[in-house]
Amino acid sequence: MRNIIAIIEREMRAYFNSPIAYVVLTIFVFLSGFFFRLYLAQVMQMGLMSQMQAQQFGPRPMDMPGMISRGFLSTLSVILLFLMPMLTMGLFSEEKKRGTIELLLTAPLTDLQVVLGKFLAAGAFFVLLLVSTFVPMAALYLYSSPASGPIFTAYLGLLLYGLSIVAIGLFISTLTENQIIAAVLSFGMIMVLWLVDAMANYADSPTSKGVLSYLSILSHLDDFMKGVLSTSNIVFYVSLMLVGLFLTYRSIDSLRWRG
């Protein structure tokens, strides 16, 4: 455990010693703030309109804070899709390029400890990004009283979604010595998992349609956003994460054999 913590600590230092942490944090805070503002304006306008309609047709209940938080939190998944590869691209590729991988793989550490340390480091940075969105959400709580249930499940969904993306990116960074290639490949890979949903619409047989739409990394978030916790969605993200970690682990092993 102490070994894993040492690796996490070093990775976090590396993030904050390089521009990556600041660039990713800044862009993320800016974009998430921008979208929060956008949804806020939209929903308030809708609220105004429904008030006018209410004078004619009688009042209709409308969950304004819920609409804002749902729109805002769903958008985060898209922003993360673009930014997460920046966090994972260097995890192993830099070690390979600089030869520090030789230090890690000859230290009295198991490969699993190395993999978990790296995974948790990028995961921790991702959690930091999520935490930064507590600021606009706090504003929501300050001026209204949103239902906390769906917000909680949405965050849980985002957490699982983000960690599975980290695991994919981690695996891809073991495949190359070049950070840019790792980033582009991770982005492409996540994009494919994102777009299989659209491909499902063109599928011939109902079976392939079912498989393709199940594989979609975003569709499993919908239920979380609506406040529904379903085991199948949790299982999907957890297994995606485990597959990513397992492939990383195997890739390190193969790295040893190939030298």
Is 60 a binding residue for other proteins by CB under 8 A? The answer is: no
Is 1 a binding residue for other proteins by CB under 8 A? The answer is: no
Closer to other proteins at the Cβ: 102 or 222? 102
* Shortest distance in whole angstroms from residue 2 CB to other proteins: 7
Of the candidates 101, 129, 166, 221, which one interacts with other proteins according to CB under 8 A? 101
Closer to other proteins at the Cβ: 113 or 248? 113
Interacting span for other proteins (CB under 8 A) from 3-11, 46-54, 176-184, 200-208: 3-11
Which residue, chain included where needed, has tokens 């998944």? 77
Is 96 a binding residue for other proteins by CB under 8 A? The answer is: no
Closer to other proteins at the Cβ: 60 or 258? 258
Find, among 84, 110, 117, the residue nearest to 194 by Cα. Answer: 84
Find, among 218, 228, 116, 213, the residue nearest to 158 by Cα. Answer: 218
Using an 8 Å Cβ cutoff, are 21 and 125 in contact? yes
Residues 6+ apart with CB under 8 A from 80: 28, 126, 129, 158, 161, 162, 165
Closer to other proteins at the Cβ: 14 or 159? 14
Tell me, what amino acid is at 52? M
What are 196's two structure tokens?
């299989």
Is 17 a binding residue for other proteins by CB under 8 A? The answer is: yes
Number of H helices, E strands in the chain: 12, 0
Of the candidates 26, 53, 100, 208, which one interacts with other proteins according to CB under 8 A? 100
* Shortest distance in whole angstroms from residue 252 CB to other proteins: 11
Closer to other proteins at the Cβ: 14 or 38? 14
Contact string (CB under 8 A) for other proteins, positions 105-124, x = contact: xxxxxx--------------
Is 18 a binding residue for other proteins by CB under 8 A? The answer is: yes
- 3-state secondary structure (DSSP) of residue 147: coil
Burial class (CB in 10 A: 0-12, 13-18, 19+), 159: middle
Which residue, chain included where needed, has tokens 């930014």? 83
What are 23's two structure tokens?
């660039």
* Shortest distance in whole angstroms from residue 21 CB to other proteins: 12
- Please work out, in degrees rounded to the nearest 5, the angle formed at the alpha carbon of residue 171 by the alpha carbons of 165 and 177: 120
* Shortest distance in whole angstroms from residue 255 CB to other proteins: 9
* Shortest distance in whole angstroms from residue 93 CB to other proteins: 14
CA–CA gap between residue 172 and residue 186 (Å, rounded) = 6
Residues of this chain that bind other proteins (CB under 8 A): 2-3, 6-7, 9-10, 13-14, 17-18, 98-110, 256-259
